[in-house]
């Protein structure tokens, strides 16, 4: 068990030194305080997918039971990756340490820990790179900013590479576009070579490999969960959609993050998908095999990410669908937009996506053949294919959180906003430099949404929370909309701590609230089975009459 | 990895205190864990633990909150079976111990 | 500590040059041999570094998108922040290289308590741009030592640069601004704790080097007056690899040319390589069109996967129990 | 001239010193950032502290009404409760105000009649420290509650329903 810190002894309390130790960053070793790091991955999860060095360990232990030759493994791995990734080689060489990125990282702003400055998180790796891969580093050592790779350094890597959510805000502000997420990915790949993985990432990777989704929902569990969602849809609208699963010959395959099939408020967004697709009579199918859009493998190594992502194209080919729609998820769309086709493409067994309802050609997806659901829905609304009654969302005062990956790895800004503005009458933007490409992260991305590192998550999410607080104060905002499953999972606790009174929802929950479905009964409840605004005054005894 | 002693047999638990191998679970582990935290388990209590065990047996994962509220509603009376009422009554209930009692692993991922 | 180390290195270099020329009159070494060696090191070094970067492939298309993507026709696509064609990428790179667009990114002027306050990076953008632009103009002006007849645009730059007609010879703004920018960047590096905390000796050394070159240049032009005719003869000799005599030229010139040789020689080993790096950075020099056109990863090897058949094998009966279609009953 | 007027007159100097002392509890590099970056969203920590100590200082001078000052105390403590500070260091910022006021008073007016007025001011600060302990505990308990309520445990929260009913009755 992680050692609990004893209460401070009297003499410790008396000398409250207000200024922390000012040692040079090369020397200050890392202290694993509970609440600021995740548990180490357990044996079962590593064995299931063949990751090296599965063993019993905790990051706070002194001995991490690393393989004897761990140092050679790491350096050999670094050499191989320098040869395989121009980004890694370049970002190790061209940083001029100008400090433009230093105060842009939400973990630095929230924690004040200098090693959370993106430039320093990179220097943790660069200092080792210089020592073993540059003549200057070898000759001048510390003078040239180089240092030995020791176990303490490896622990420091682990502590800080699992304290970066790979949100890439630093690469927006770097004059050369140095992307700390790339360096963190390389760091995590190297750590994985010696078994340095967190439990919260290992679990979903093993589940996704074996059962098709991060949660480990087996086929009948997926259909059973969706049945319960259909019950609720029937209760509020009198209509029971009939989604199909693993159906061959369907026109479209729909892949959503599995978080939407399990946790609140994700399930409300899933209800939104079901209601929308039923209303427009879409010929689509879910898949229990490719039942995960997200990709926690992306937080371990490129190879693992490719092994998990394989299922989507394989299933699309097996079912013979024309193209794919992807649900609301952040990391999923970074992987789909920038990696999927390169890994598992070409997707030539599918055709260029064309909306069967509006005839619009999605040119920006003609290679990967996969369309974002907000692109699809925005097109429906623009062509007047949906009957909407925004007044049903009048009790909500909505603002929108741009997820990091859809913002900086793709550039989806207007589509979700267009939908929200058409389904909600009260919508306010957060301050300009906390949204769009400068959005602040939810603080728990890239697999950091575990429970044990709650303090770390609160620090990381504080800049975004302070932006939400400002619009809560100014406009009375009470609903934070987003298009990411991890956001829907982690923003509620973030709001409970920093901005009580603001709840969280997915964009398609708002859409389904306002959607007037053909043949639906008079709606008295929203997707959360809570009374809609303006229903109480009309009294309970209202008998249902068809709208 | 820590472990707990119940009737002379030791069972492995992980960093958060969850039973590592859920098959090992038996009723007196639950009683042991509950007694340790000063809670005695009533018959109604056991009913729910058994429901969770059966659900897990069948689906290999914990039930969704929506499922549990519906099932509780059936066994404990309609008005207790909706999420809003239960969240209100137990916003910060000691859920963690309950999970340990039933000895079920935690769902992980984008949740 | 790092500062002192770099500063003492510069002093040592100046002393070596001065002593070498004044006492051991090694004018020839400092005037000809070292410059040739330095230029050779520079060319080979930069070439090798860029080749080494170029050798590593770009496996994935990972631009950092800072604007709305190209999407439905009625949504305004921000072409230069989220390029989807090569032309847009070229414009984005040009904005980056010539106007330091990214350092300009968070320069939103906010009025607070009636006072207009810029983001903290405005000075970095200004000084950075000043240093690079003036350095370029100074290089341009120095072409008149290396070309005969002196091209019109060099003379034009000269006259523009000295348009203030102050003092004799005319005060050239770029030389002074170059020195001021370097000095500012140095003080910024030691005054902002975050930047000081991360600075290595290798960050101070180039700054001192540029400052000393600028100072020696200014000294030569306005104070110690050197014989331009002889210097032109030497420089032309260097360029045409012809006979060169080095006597009759002040020691300050040799210090100047020695420091420039050091800068050229040091260039490929240092962070100054960001000159080549910025053009190769995968987060800026690629279009965000990977969903339109497949990006090929040269080392894309097959991986061990969990196929549908294995999946169905394991869950067949459970799937049958809920009526899911099966490949094999 | 009594102590209150003196403090009012020296208000901005005191606030500036107090702010600097609080910021120095952060690592040196971060301290300058917290001081220099004025934008509220690029530096929410610094901004919240600055805004908070102004209101707290007003309360200390005037008659402190607990609700209003609790909001501003909460905004600062809520941040420090999840940062790298031990509880003692997290709440140390209030004692720093005593230090600043005492330094201000001593070099201003050595006569003794200020003494009991000073003790009135300092006792008000002590009251604030008491309130701060409650706020700090609320923040820490919220963190543990969030940990306990991570969705992985949502599902079983209801398991406790039967016991809770019994305990619930026992308590009220």
Contact partners, residue A437, CB within 8 Å, separation at least 6: A172, A407, A408, A411, C65, C66, C67, C81
Condensed to tens digits (0 to 9), the pLDDT of residues A376-418 reads: 999 999 999 999 999 999 999 999 999 999 999 999 999 999 9
pLDDT greater than 70 at residue C146: yes
Residue of D nearest to C195 (CA): D29
C112 touching A (Cβ < 8 Å): no
Instruction: Map out the domains of chain D as residue ranges.
Output: 3-171
C-alpha distance from C261 to closest chain A C-alpha (Å): 19
Which of the pair, A301 or B76, is modelled with greater confidence? A301
B109–A296: do the CB atoms touch at under 8 Å? yes
Mean per-residue pLDDT, C146-172: 81
Res A6 pLDDT > 80 = no
C neighbour chains, 3+ CB pairs within 8 Å:
A, D
CA-based nearest distance B19→chain A, Å: 13
B65-108 confidence digits (pLDDT tens): 777 777 767 766 665 555 555 444 333 333 344 455 566 666 77
Distances (CA, A) of D60 to A347, D64, D77, D95, D116: 69, 6, 17, 13, 15
Nearest to A375 among C72, C322, C325 (CB): C72
Residue pLDDT, tens place only, C248-281: 788 888 889 999 999 999 999 888 999 889 999 9
Of A143, A177, A180, the residue nearest A160 (C-alpha):
A180
CB contact under 8 A, D143 and A458: yes
Question: Which chain A positions have a beta carbon within 8 Å of B73's beta carbon?
Answer: none
Residues of C whose CB is below 8 A from A210: 306, 314
Give this prediction's pTM.
Answer: 0.88
Chain-centroid distance, C-alpha A140: 41
Tally of CA atoms within 13 A in the half-sphere of A363 that contains its CB: 6
* Residue C107: predicted pLDDT: 57
Q: Is A516 in CB contact (< 8 Å) with chain B?
A: no
The span from the CA of C2 to the CA of A422, in Å, is: 59
Q: Is D130 on the interface with C (CB under 8 A)?
A: no
**Burial (CB count <10 Å: 0-12, 13-18, 19+), residue C284:** buried
C-chain residue closest to D39, CA distance: C119
Hey, which residues of B are catalytic here? Answer: 110
The predicted structure's pLDDT at residue D164: 33
Preferred mutation among A20, A21, A118 to probe D, highest tally of D CBs within 10 A: A20
The reply to whether residue A218 touches residue B61, judged by beta carbons under 8 angstroms, is yes
Q: Is B24 on the interface with A (CB under 8 A)?
A: no
| Residue A384: per-residue pLDDT | 95
pLDDT over 50 at A299, yes or no: yes
pLDDT for the residue C28: 81
Long-range contacts of D60-65 (CB under 8 A, 24+ apart): D60/D97, D60/D121, D60/D124, D60/D125, D60/D128, D61/D4, D61/D7, D61/D8, D61/D121, D64/D124, D64/D127, D64/D128
Task: Evaluate whether the domain defined by C2-321 bears CATH number 3.10.450.40.
Answer: no
**Interhelix angle D28-36/D11-23, nearest 10 degrees:** 140
How many residue pairs from chains C and D have C-beta atoms closer than 8 A? 23
Average pLDDT, chain A: 90
Decide if D85 touches C, using CB distance below 8 A: no
pLDDT beyond 70 at A9: no
Out of A110, A117, A493, name the one closest to residue D146 (CB).
Answer: A493
Domains and CATH numbers, chain B: 3-102 (1.10.10.370)
Least CB–CB distance from B99: residue in D145, D153, D162: D153
Of A166-180, A523-537, C39-53, the range with the lowest mean pLDDT is A523-537
d(CA A164, CA A419): 31
CB A71 within 8 A of CB A79: no
Give helix C173-191 / helix C201-218 axis angle, nearest 10°: 150
- Please judge whether B15 and A329 are an interchain contact, meaning their C-beta atoms are less than 8 angstroms apart: no
Q: Do C62 and A338 touch (CB under 8 A)?
A: yes
Tell me the pLDDT band of D158, cut-offs 50, 70 and 90.
Answer: very low
pLDDT at A144: 83
Domain residue limits, chain C: 2-321
- Mean predicted confidence (pLDDT) in C47-55: 92
pLDDT at A335: 95
pLDDT tens-place string over residues A15-30: 444 444 455 666 777 8
**pLDDT on residue B38:** 65
CA distance C49 to C56: 11
Strand partners, C117: C110
- CB-closest option in C76, C194, C269 to A102: C194
Cα separation of A492 and A137, whole Å? 47
**Test the B interface: residue of A59, A206, A209, A216 with most B CBs within 10 Å:** A216
CA B51 to chain centre: 10
* Residue A453 in tokens: 């590192």
**Above 0.95 for ipTM, yes or no?**
no
How far apart are alpha carbons D100 and C17 in whole angstroms? 56
CA distance linking residue D90 with residue C267, whole number of Å = 48
Given this model, what pLDDT does residue B17 score?
65
Burial C1-28 (b: 16+ CB within 10 A, else e): ebbeebbeebeebbeebbebbeeeebbe
What Å distances lie between residue D8 and D49, D63, D107, CA to CA? Answer: 20, 14, 16
The nearest alpha carbon in chain B to D141 belongs to B92
C305 Cβ contact list (under 8 Å, min separation 6): A307, A310, A311, A314
Decide: C189 and C207 in contact? Cβ < 8 Å: yes
Residue in D with minimal Cα distance to C106: D42
> Which strand (E) or helix (H) includes residue D124?
helix D114-148
What gap in Å lies between CA A197 and CA A53, rounded to an integer? Answer: 10
From chain D, the residues in CB contact with B108 under 8 A are 152
- Decide if pLDDT at A537 tops 70: no
By the 8 A CB rule, do C160 and C133 touch?
A: no
Task: Point out which residues pair with A325 in neighbouring strands.
Answer: A254, A371
Check CB contact under 8 Å for A220 and B108: no
Using beta carbons and an 8 Å cutoff, which residues of C are at the interface with D? 106, 110, 112, 117, 119-120, 192-194, 196-197
pLDDT tens digits, A421-461: 999 999 999 998 899 999 999 999 999 998 889 999 999 99
Whether residues B108 and A264 touch (CB distance < 8 A) is answered with no
Report the SS3 class of residue D154: helix
pLDDT at residue A105, rounded to an integer: 93
Mean pLDDT of B19-30: 72
pLDDT at A198 exceeding the cut of 70: yes
Chain A residues inside the 8 Å CB shell of B20: 42
Least confident of A155-159, A269-273, D101-105: D101-105
């Amino acid at each position: 068990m992680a050692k609990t810190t004893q209460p401070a002894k009297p003499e410790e309390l008396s000398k409250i030194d207000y200024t922390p130790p000012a040692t040079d960053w090369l020397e200050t070793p890392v202290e694993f305080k509970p609440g600021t790091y995740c548990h180490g991955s357990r044996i079962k999860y590593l064995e299931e997918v063949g990751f090296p060095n599965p063993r019993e360990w905790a990051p706070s232990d002194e001995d991490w039971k690393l393989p004897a030759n761990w140092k050679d493994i790491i350096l050999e791995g670094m050499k191989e990756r320098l040869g395989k990734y121009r980004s890694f080689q370049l970002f190790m060489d061209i940083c001029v340490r100008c400090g433009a990125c230093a105060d842009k990282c939400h973990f630095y702003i929230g924690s004040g820990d200098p090693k959370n400055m993106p430039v320093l998180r990179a220097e943790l790796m660069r200092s080792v790179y210089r020592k073993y891969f540059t003549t200057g580093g070898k000759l001048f050592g510390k003078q040239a900013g180089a240092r030995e790779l020791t176990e303490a350094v490896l622990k420091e890597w682990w502590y800080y590479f699992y304290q970066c959510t790979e949100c890439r805000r630093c690469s927006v502000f770097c004059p050369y576009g140095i992307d700390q997420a790339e360096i963190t990915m390389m760091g995590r790949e190297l750590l994985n070579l010696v078994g340095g993985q967190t439990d919260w990432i290992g679990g979903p990777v093993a589940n996704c490999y074996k059962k098709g989704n991060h949660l480990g929902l087996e086929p009948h569990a997926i259909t059973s969960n969706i049945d319960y969602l259909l019950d609720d849809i029937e209760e509020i609208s009198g209509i029971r959609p009939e989604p199909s699963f693993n159906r061959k010959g369907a026109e479209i395959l729909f892949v959503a993050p599995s978080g939407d099939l399990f946790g609140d408020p994700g399930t409300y967004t899933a209800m939104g998908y079901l209601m929308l697709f039923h209303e427009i009579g879409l010929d689509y199918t879910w898949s229990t095999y490719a039942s995960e859009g997200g990709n926690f493998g992306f937080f371990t190594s490129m190879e693992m990410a490719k092994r998990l992502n394989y299922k989507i194209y394989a299933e699309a080919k097996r079912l013979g669908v024309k193209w794919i729609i992807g649900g609301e998820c952040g990391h999923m769309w970074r992987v789909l937009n920038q990696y999927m086709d390169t890994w598992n493409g070409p997707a030539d067994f599918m055709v260029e996506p064309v909306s069967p309802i509006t005839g619009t050609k999605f040119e920006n997806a003609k290679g990967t053949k996969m369309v974002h659901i907000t692109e699809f829905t925005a097109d429906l609304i623009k062509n007047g294919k949906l009957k909407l009654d925004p007044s049903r969302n009048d009790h909500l005062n909505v603002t929108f959180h741009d997820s990091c990956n859809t913002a900086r790895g793709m550039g989806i800004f207007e589509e979700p906003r267009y939908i929200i503005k058409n389904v909600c009458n009260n919508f306010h933007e957060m301050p300009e430099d906390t949204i769009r490409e400068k959005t602040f992260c939810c603080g728990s991305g890239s697999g950091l949404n575990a429970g044990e590192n709650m303090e770390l998550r609160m620090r990381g999410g504080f800049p975004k929370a302070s932006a939400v607080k400002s619009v809560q104060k100014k406009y009375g905002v009470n609903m934070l909309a987003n298009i990411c499953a991890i956001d829907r999972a982690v923003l509620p606790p973030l709001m409970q701590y920093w901005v009580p009174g603001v709840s969280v929802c997915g964009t398609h929950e708002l859409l389904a609230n306002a959607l007037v479905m053909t043949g639906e009964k008079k709606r008295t409840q929203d997707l959360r089975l809570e009374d809609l605004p303006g229903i109480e005054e009309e009294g309970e005894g209202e008998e249902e009459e068809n709208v | 990895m820590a472990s707990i002693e119940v009737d002379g047999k030791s069972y492995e638990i992980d960093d958060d205190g969850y039973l590592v191998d859920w098959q090992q679970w038996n009723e007196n582990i639950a009683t042991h864990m509950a007694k340790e935290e000063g809670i005695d388990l009533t018959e109604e209590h056991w009913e729910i633990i058994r429901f969770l065990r059966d659900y897990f047996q069948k689906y290999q994962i914990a039930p969704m909150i929506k499922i549990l509220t519906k099932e509780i509603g059936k066994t404990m009376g309609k008005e207790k079976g909706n999420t809003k009422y239960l969240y209100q009554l137990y916003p910060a209930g000691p859920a963690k111990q309950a999970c340990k009692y039933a000895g079920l692993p935690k769902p992980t991922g984008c949740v | 500590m790092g500062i002192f180390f770099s500063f003492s290195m510069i002093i040592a270099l100046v002393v070596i040059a001065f002593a070498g020329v004044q006492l051991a009159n090694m004018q020839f070494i400092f005037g000809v041999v070292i410059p040739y060696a330095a230029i050779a090191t520079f060319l080979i070094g930069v070439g090798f570094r860029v080749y080494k970067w170029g050798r590593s492939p770009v496996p994935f298309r990972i631009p950092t998108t800072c604007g709305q993507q190209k999407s439905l026709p009625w949504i305004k696509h921000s072409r230069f922040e989220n390029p989807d064609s090569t032309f847009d990428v070229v414009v984005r790179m040009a904005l980056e290289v010539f106007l330091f667009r990214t350092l300009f990114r968070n320069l939103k002027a906010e009025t607070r308590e009636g006072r207009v306050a810029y983001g903290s990076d405005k000075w970095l953008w200004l000084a950075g741009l000043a240093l690079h632009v003036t350095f370029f103009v100074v290089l341009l002006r120095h072409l008149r030592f290396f070309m005969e007849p002196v091209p019109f645009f060099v003379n034009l730059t000269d006259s523009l640069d000295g348009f203030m007609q102050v003092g004799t010879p005319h005060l050239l703004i770029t030389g002074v601004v170059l020195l001021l920018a370097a000095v500012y960047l140095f003080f910024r590096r030691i005054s902002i704790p975050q930047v000081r905390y991360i600075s290595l000796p290798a960050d101070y050394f180039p700054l001192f080097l540029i400052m000393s070159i600028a100072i020696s240049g200014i000294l030569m032009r306005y104070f110690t007056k050197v014989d331009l005719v002889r210097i032109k003869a030497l420089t032309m000799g260097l360029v045409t690899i012809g006979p060169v005599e080095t006597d009759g030229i002040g020691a300050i010139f040799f210090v100047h040319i020695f420091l420039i040789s050091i800068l050229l020689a040091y260039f490929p080993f240092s962070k100054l390589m960001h000159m080549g790096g910025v053009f190769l950075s995968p987060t800026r020099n690629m279009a965000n069109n990977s969903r339109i056109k497949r990006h090929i990863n040269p080392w894309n090897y097959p991986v061990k996967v969990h196929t549908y058949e294995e999946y169905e094998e394991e869950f067949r009966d459970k799937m049958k129990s809920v009526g899911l279609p099966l490949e094999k009953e | 001239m009594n102590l209150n007027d003196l403090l009012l007159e020296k208000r901005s100097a005191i606030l500036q010193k107090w702010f600097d002392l609080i910021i120095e509890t952060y690592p040196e590099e971060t301290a300058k950032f917290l001081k220099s970056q004025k934008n509220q969203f690029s530096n929410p920590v610094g901004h919240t502290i600055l805004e908070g100590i102004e209101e707290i200082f007003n309360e200390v001078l005037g008659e402190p009404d607990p609700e209003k000052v609790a909001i501003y105390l909460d905004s600062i403590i809520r941040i420090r409760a999840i940062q790298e500070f031990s509880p003692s260091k997290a709440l140390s910022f209030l004692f720093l105000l005593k230090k600043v006021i005492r330094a201000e008073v001593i070099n201003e007016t050595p006569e003794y009649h200020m003494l009991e007025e000073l003790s009135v001011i300092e006792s008000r600060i002590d009251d604030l420290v008491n309130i701060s302990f409650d706020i700090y505990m609320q923040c820490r308990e919220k963190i543990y509650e969030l940990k306990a309520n991570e969705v992985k445990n949502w599902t079983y929260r209801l398991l406790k329903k039967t016991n809770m009913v019994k305990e619930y009755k026992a308590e009220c």
